[in-house]
Chains A and B, each alone.
Chain A
Amino acid sequence: MSTATLLASRLLSERWRLPLWIGGITLLTAASSTAVLAQFADPEEQRVLLLAAAANPAFRFLRGLPIGIGTGELVFFQIFTYLAALAGLMSTFLVVRHTRGDEDSGRTELIAATPLRRTAPVATALGTAVVANLVLGVTVALGLALPGLPWRGSVLTGSAVAVSGLVFAGIAAVAAQVLPTSRAANGAAAATVGLAYLLRGIGDAMAQPDERFVTRESGWPSWLSPIGWGQRVEAYQTDNPLPLAIGIATAVLLGAVAVAVAARRDLGASLVRERAGRERARGSLRSPLALVWRLSWPSLVGWAIGAAFLGTVAGLLAPSVADAIGSNAQFLELIRRLIPGSTAGLLDLFVAAILGMAGFLAAAAGAQATMRMRAEEADGRAELLLAAPVGRARWMVAFLAVAVASVAAVLVPAGVAAAVAFAAVGEQDRTGSSLAAAAAQVPAALVFVGLTALVFAVLPRLTVPVAWTLLGVSLILGEYGTILQLPEWMQDMSPFRHTSAIPAEDLDAGGVLALLAVALATATLAVLLFRRRDLAV
């Protein structure tokens, strides 16, 4: 087998997954540029929106830096940071899958037995990432240019997305060499993507608008973020390709480090050594629930830290939102178009939007914990427990309980952190509403626990793709439904649409009850159906 064959076989093995990622990201790009072109055809409206965003640190934190007042700049401001983060996640999972993931499963051993260099697995995994990001760069550029944005800026945006993806591919490659498992490598590298997003968010929030209310200089933390580097191409404004060089240089350097480590270490070994395990289990490890908890708590901690960060941001940035906007009625009108369906004050909308993000994370955490059942079943570990005196229902309920705990692990820290942060900046009266806003996210998140369990019971082999698709579609319907002008009934299919956006809206008890009923019904049905089906390997 030659290196080229190995690269080809890696690409072949990605023929379903990569097109899904690339297609999804491209679709998001095209939908956004189309929506902005259609919605903000009036240049005056567009100017006001950008000025308001420029003045508002919270929006800059979430979205990016408004670099100019044209349509292109507006699209770039709205979407670039998302695209770069998504490219980062795509590259992370791709590279780890083909390096540490293959090593975990023993596939690399087969490759190592061929006369290929020891570095071939890493090099070809990086090669796969290069191909993936190049294609993504092209399709993103097309998704921007075809709806009607200038070519130069579109190509530059596509390039910046691809380069961001490649930097994260490099980070993932190093993480995969250094850390002992693919789970750890994926976790560390994906957390780097989150951190990069946060650093540029803080930098953008710190930026000072100039007298024309355009903000081109981000704060220093943004310089620490590969996504921040990408933003500096200022597409559709100055169209400056130079910042891409920083990303390319970093990606090459990281790739070289990963290859160098791979050349020096033993197969399966890692720089970070694993401690020996326990000789005997703790006394508490005596039930399926204890086992699932033992397997899952590290990811719960990870989710909790992320959510606490998000909540803190909501609390700390909120007062400056209020200051920056004052009582600009025209601006409020525009904000309502971005965060649809409310007549509440801007600060309320902001808090509701951030905790809405926490709600989405909670749904993702719950779905992910529920999906673990499929991995347990497919790998044959479920069989080991279910051949012991453990009933199917008891086994499944253990996973559902930990999934509910995962939802709580996101929403409790998010709500508490927001409340504490508000108190710290002297807004004690927002403590209660922050906690309520977090609590209001619980029912929709539980629906995804129930739905994922139901998919697992009925279509076990499709659990993972179907569950993530349900979550993604619900997010798009719930968040972008209005902007994309989708019919009402279609938007209402999304559980997120029935979540009360406290404090911007009052609690809709009917919605809460309906969501809880769906969650309970799907989970119960899942248990019943799982007891009636064959274990599917």
Chain B
Amino acid sequence: MSVIEVHDLRKSFGRTAALTGLDLEVRPGEVHGFLGPNGAGKSTTIRILLGLLRADGGTVTVLGRDPWRDAVHVHRGLAYVPGDVSLWPNLSGGEVIDLLTRLRGGADEALLRRLVEDFEFDPRKRSRSYSRGNRQKVALIAAFARPAELYVLDEPTSGLDPLMDEVFRRHIERVRDEGAAVLLSSHMLAEVERLCDRVTIIRSGVDVETGTLQELRHLTRTTFRLTGADEAAARALPGAHEPRSGGDWVEFDVDAADVPAVLAGVAALRPAGLTVAPPSLEELFLHHYGDRP
């Protein structure tokens, strides 16, 4: 059974249609990337998954239950980190962490100590004086300090520096190894690429693609870059799309199915150098949103 199952989810705010038929499935033990540009509907989806917003249509199941009707039950099994964490200004970070973990049944003390250390977090400062990154650390530490079946993280690293980003990655891997599922929304492509087993790409309120990175790459073109080859001949290769060139190099994209044929053609051109790159997630993304940089 899936941890999260969403089918044909719809949600409008007045005249703004935020979600227009979204499907999403997160399986046990996977880190699932939820990728989309600003305003795509990621946070809206997550708030519906938590029962904070009510869906206008479609079906939503989280940990086997309807989060709107059974919010408290669902919340017992999950940990949430909001996109924009705001805390009680007078409470110290340590107090907020304790409160949030106690509401979920209490922290694993050893784990908590390790998290505070790993994230180099000073729990004694009042929340009002924390930077955005530090507020995010509070929510992350509170989420990770007690094992959960499902971690729902809304752009959790947007305020963290690269070192902390690495700590975050280690803990994601830890909870995955323990068998938990993670839903990680992001528009940081590198993050999803590095961390996620499967990805759902959302645009303007609908999922446009779901699959493993491997599967998604099949959908896109591979980039060939040749140096020291006859430019005109390279451009004329059958199956070479959108050729561009500069100095002594020429570059073009190839559909997955055409790669063997194009490879043969390239060999005939006897280039001095050749790189064949899988598309970055960046390109995947741009492919879906229809425009090139």
Q: Is the CB of B95 within 8 A of A281?
A: yes
Write the chain B residue with the least CB distance to A184: B90
Write the chain A residue with the least CB distance to B13: A534
Q: Determine the distance from Cα of A379 to Cα of B82 in the docked complex, in whole angstroms.
A: 12
Known contacts: A277-B125, A285-B102, A534-B52. The answer to whether A387 contacts B80 by CB under 8 A is yes
Q: Is the CB of A384 within 8 A of B123?
A: no
Contact of B82 among A274, A286, A384, A391 (CB under 8 A): A384
Q: Is the CB of B125 within 8 A of A279?
A: no
Give the chain B neighbours of A388 by CB distance below 8 A: 75, 80, 100, 103-104
Q: Determine the distance from Cα of A354 to Cα of B103 in the docked complex, in whole angstroms.
A: 44
Contact of A390 among B53, B72, B105, B125 (CB under 8 A): B72
Q: Determine the distance from Cα of A100 to Cα of B90 in the docked complex, in whole angstroms.
A: 15
Q: Is the CB of A391 within 8 A of B47?
A: no
Known contacts: A385-B103, A387-B80, A388-B104. The answer to whether A278 contacts B53 by CB under 8 A is no
Q: Determine the distance from Cα of A384 to Cα of B154 in the docked complex, in whole angstroms.
A: 12
Known contacts: A104-B128, A389-B72, A391-B72. The answer to whether A285 contacts B99 by CB under 8 A is yes
Asked if A383 is an interface residue, CB under 8 A from chain B, the answer is: yes
Give the chain B neighbours of A280 by CB distance below 8 A: 94-95, 98, 123
Asked if B124 is an interface residue, CB under 8 A from chain A, the answer is: yes
Contact of A278 among B52, B76, B92 (CB under 8 A): B92
Q: Is the CB of A390 within 8 A of B103?
A: yes
Asked if B59 is an interface residue, CB under 8 A from chain A, the answer is: no
Give the chain A neighbours of B91 by CB distance below 8 A: 277, 281, 294
Q: Determine the distance from Cα of A288 to Cα of B76 in the docked complex, in whole angstroms.
A: 16
Q: Is the CB of A389 within 8 A of B104?
A: yes
Asked if B195 is an interface residue, CB under 8 A from chain A, the answer is: no
Asked if B27 is an interface residue, CB under 8 A from chain A, the answer is: no
* Size class of the B contact interface (CB-based, 8 Å): 35 or more
Contact with B along A21-38 (1 / 0, CB 8 A): 000000000000000000
Q: Is the CB of A278 within 8 A of B124?
A: yes
Give the chain B neighbours of A281 by CB distance below 8 A: 91, 94-96, 98-99, 102
Asked if A134 is an interface residue, CB under 8 A from chain B, the answer is: no
Known contacts: A181-B128, A387-B52, A387-B75. The answer to whether A278 contacts B94 by CB under 8 A is yes
Known contacts: A276-B125, A387-B75, A388-B100. The answer to whether A535 contacts B53 by CB under 8 A is yes
Closest Cβ–Cβ distance, residue A105 to chain B (whole Å) = 10
Write the chain B residue with the least CB distance to A386: B52
Asked if B87 is an interface residue, CB under 8 A from chain A, the answer is: yes
Number of chain A residues whose Cβ lies closer than 8 Å to a Cβ of chain B = 34
Q: Determine the distance from Cα of A534 to Cα of B19 in the docked complex, in whole angstroms.
A: 15
Q: Is the CB of B76 within 8 A of A389?
A: yes
Closest Cβ–Cβ distance, residue A456 to chain B (whole Å) = 16
Give the chain B neighbours of A383 by CB distance below 8 A: 47, 52, 82
Q: Determine the distance from Cα of A277 to Cα of B87 in the docked complex, in whole angstroms.
A: 14
Contact with A along B49-78 (1 / 0, CB 8 A): 010111000000000000000011101101
Q: Determine the distance from Cα of A389 to Cα of B90 in the docked complex, in whole angstroms.
A: 23
Give the chain A neighbours of B53 by CB distance below 8 A: 534-535
Asked if B139 is an interface residue, CB under 8 A from chain A, the answer is: yes
Asked if A43 is an interface residue, CB under 8 A from chain B, the answer is: no
Asked if A295 is an interface residue, CB under 8 A from chain B, the answer is: yes
Give the chain B neighbours of A391 by CB distance below 8 A: 71-72
Q: Is the CB of B94 within 8 A of A286?
A: no
Asked if A426 is an interface residue, CB under 8 A from chain B, the answer is: no
Known contacts: A277-B91, A281-B95. The answer to whether A389 contacts B123 by CB under 8 A is no
Asked if A291 is an interface residue, CB under 8 A from chain B, the answer is: yes
Q: Which of A383, A385, A390, A391 has the most CB of B within 10 A?
A: A383
Asked if A380 is an interface residue, CB under 8 A from chain B, the answer is: yes
Which residues 379-417 of A have a CB within 8 angstroms of B?
Answer: 379-381, 383-392
Known contacts: A280-B94, A281-B94, A285-B98. The answer to whether A181 contacts B89 by CB under 8 A is yes
Q: Determine the distance from Cα of A324 to Cα of B84 in the docked complex, in whole angstroms.
A: 63
Write the chain A residue with the least CB distance to B78: A387
Give the chain B neighbours of A294 by CB distance below 8 A: 91
Contact of A279 among B52, B123, B128 (CB under 8 A): B123
Contact of A380 among B73, B84, B100, B102 (CB under 8 A): B84
Asked if B289 is an interface residue, CB under 8 A from chain A, the answer is: no
Give the chain A neighbours of B128 by CB distance below 8 A: 104, 181
Top 9 nearest A-B pairs (CB, nearest first) are A277-B92, A281-B98, A281-B95, A388-B103, A387-B80, A286-B102, A389-B75, A535-B52, A380-B86
Known A-B contacts: A104-B128, A286-B99. Give 19 more (CB < 8 A): A181-B89, A276-B125, A277-B91, A277-B124, A281-B96, A286-B103, A287-B103, A380-B84, A381-B87, A381-B88, A384-B85, A384-B100, A387-B75, A388-B103, A389-B72, A389-B75, A389-B76, A389-B105, A532-B54
Contacts from A to B (Cβ < 8 Å): 104, 181, 268, 274, 276-281, 285-288, 291, 294-295, 379-381, 383-392, 532-535
